[in-house]
């Protein structure tokens, strides 16, 4: 469209493969399961799929602890299945993003096994090693996201190694050119197989301060970044020296961009979190040499109020210049949006509104599996939890299992059609009633509503590529305008469960967009139902 890269304005559907569809009855979703449902994905009206890690892994962090970047874990299939998936997606005009973890590996990775043997082997400097302090304690005060210190003593090498996440996930040392060269080979391996880009996991954690300076204490009144467990000690520090360093760009992202650019229109999508997230979104893609875009947890943790959402967007828009935003309301790491924003029993009006609001924002969109069904957070009892993060911080934080439970395909089938065996996480009863087969034939369902709007949006250049500006509207209305080549589209959303009105000082054409709970335009008065939506051309 207008010669823009494919990813600008794209809707990227995130698939968590463990929970998408199981084809062999072991209770765990697999790559053939994704292939089997690609027609469903295509019919949503999305442009691409992002597949969470399926590499060979001990699964301590469910694939984000990689043992072999260039092989498929047997629980998901084989390398040939990955090839078939890429080919099948492309035949349906779907791009494919692979989730690439560049900041750390599993402690079972051959690189780490060699690195820990002594201090002189060829890979001795491939990970972040440090001597103990004189009293035997770690070299500084850095903390792990998942609780406790971020240093683990290794009795073989007789040093500490750094892990920003679990101790089974040692951090790579990308100050070492050989490490960067090896990671570039990994990228080439998947690009040669035909992937269209990478989602770069925790990319702001990829570089550490080589001087190992301790982090400062977070002031008591300072905002704690979203996405953390309630009460996690990680939030008591400002991660100044072990996260979000500007050197990520020249050390890692610029070489990766050079590799990617050699394969054509390839997307590098970063995950960036923490105190300086927006600053780093800009820095990591500056001058077209690093990532193309990134999402942060700012919108993922914002309150459902016009000022909260608008302020997040404005903050990024102020500095991003020619850069490109990326937004999401849900993913595999955070409570599903209907529950997070609507409570334990979110209304269907909210469930239908969320995908439309998200896909009207300026930027590209990540739509997590199940959002198109309006799935709420599943209630997983403690005895059935798998996520070590949730087990560690129970009961104040329940972990990430509630947003990772299996997709419901058939309401009346065993385990809602996800598996013929026992699912790795329980199938939520509240999800079964929202199964795909129930919603697909119901024009009032969240699925039908989302399909209609995304299919329509694909042909709306102003919504995919247009500029963005907020409009003044009384709360609880959130209103903005998208403009491109003389076309102006007004988007307004009632973020409450009570009716609202808006007296506008401009004129609108009669709305034709297929939106849920459509607002009524009578001259210059717009009336909104609970969670009502207005998408209309401005005259």
Instruction: Give the catalytic positions in this structure.
Output: 201, 271
Under 8 Å between Cβ of 388 and 351: no
- The burial of 486, by beta-carbon neighbours within 10 Å (0-12 exposed, 13-18 middle, 19 or more buried), is given as exposed
Q: Is the sign of the CA dihedral 327, 278, 269, 407 positive or negative?
A: negative
Number of residues in the chain: 539
Question: Could you count the other beta carbons within 10 Å of the beta carbon of residue 80?
Answer: 10
Instruction: Count Cα atoms within 13 angstroms, Cβ side, for 154.
Output: 26
Residue entry with tokens 């850069």: 323
Q: Render 385-442 in DSSP notation, one character per residue.
A: ---HHHHHHTTT---SGGGSSPPP--TTSGGGGS-SS--SSPPPHHHHTT-HHHHTT-
**Cα gap 515→533, rounded to integer Å:** 6
Tell me which residue of 468, 466, 479, 465 sits closest to 526, measured CA to CA: 479
**Cα gap 526→535, rounded to integer Å:** 11
Radius of gyration over every alpha carbon of the chain, rounded to an integer in angstroms: 23
């Amino acid at each position: 469209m207008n010669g823009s890269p494919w990813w600008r304005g794209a809707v990227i559907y995130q698939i968590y493969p463990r929970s998408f569809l199981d084809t062999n009855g072991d209770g765990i979703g697999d790559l053939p399961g994704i292939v089997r449902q690609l027609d469903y994905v295509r019919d949503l009206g999305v442009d691409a799929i992002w597949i969470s890690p399926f590499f060979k892994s001990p699964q301590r962090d469910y694939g984000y602890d990689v043992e072999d970047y260039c092989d498929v874990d047997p629980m998901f299939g084989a390398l040939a299945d990955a090839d078939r998936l890429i080919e099948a997606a492309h035949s349906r005009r779907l791009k494919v993003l692979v989730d690439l973890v560049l900041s750390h590996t599993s402690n079972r990775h051959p690189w780490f096994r060699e690195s820990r043997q002594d201090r002189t082997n060829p890979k001795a400097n491939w990970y972040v090693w440090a001597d103990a302090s004189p009293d035997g304690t770690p070299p500084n005060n850095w903390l792990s996201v998942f609780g406790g210190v971020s240093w683990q003593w290794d009795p073989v090498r007789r040093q500490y190694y750094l892990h920003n996440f679990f101790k089974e996930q040692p951090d790579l040392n990308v100050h070492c050119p050989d490490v960067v060269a090896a990671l570039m080979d990994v990228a080439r391996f998947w690009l040669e197989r035909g992937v269209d880009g990478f989602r770069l996991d925790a990319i702001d954690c990829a570089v550490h301060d080589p001087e190992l300076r301790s982090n400062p204490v977070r002031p008591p009144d300072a905002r704690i970044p979203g996405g953390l467990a309630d009460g996690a000690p990680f939030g008591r520090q400002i991660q100044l020296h072990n996260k979000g360093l500007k050197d990520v760009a020249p050390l890692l992202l610029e070489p990766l961009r050079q590799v990617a650019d050699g394969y054509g229109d390839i997307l590098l999508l970063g995950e960036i979190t923490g105190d300086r997230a927006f600053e780093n979104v800009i820095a990591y893609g500056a001058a077209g040499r690093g990532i193309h875009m990134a999402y942060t947890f700012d919108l993922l943790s914002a309150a459902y109020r016009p000022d909260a959402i608008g302020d997040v967007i404005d903050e990024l828009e102020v500095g991003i210049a020619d850069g490109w935003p990326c937004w999401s309301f849900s993913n595999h790491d955070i409570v599903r949006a209907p529950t997070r924003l609507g409570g334990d029993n979110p209304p269907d009006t909210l469930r239908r509104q969320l995908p439309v609001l998200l896909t009207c924002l300026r930027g590209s969109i990540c739509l997590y599996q199940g959002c198109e069904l309006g799935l709420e957070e599943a209630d997983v009892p403690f005895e059935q939890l798998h996520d070590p993060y949730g087990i560690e911080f129970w009961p104040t934080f329940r972990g990430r299992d509630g947003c990772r439970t299996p997709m419901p395909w058939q309401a009346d089938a065993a385990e809602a059609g996800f598996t013929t065996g026992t699912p790795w996480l329980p199938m939520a009863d509240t999800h079964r009633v929202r199964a795909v087969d129930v919603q697909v034939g119901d024009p009032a369902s969240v699925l039908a509503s989302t399909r209609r709007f995304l299919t329509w949006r694909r042909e709306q250049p102003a919504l995919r590529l247009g500029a963005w500006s907020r409009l003044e509207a009384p709360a609880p209305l959130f209103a903005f305008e998208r403009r491109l080549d003389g076309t102006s589209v007004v988007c307004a959303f009632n973020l409450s469960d009570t009716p609202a009105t808006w007296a506008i000082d401009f004129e609108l054409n009669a709305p034709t967009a297929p939106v849920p709970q459509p607002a009524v335009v009578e001259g210059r008065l717009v009336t909104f139902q609970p969670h009502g939506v207005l998408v209309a051309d401005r005259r």
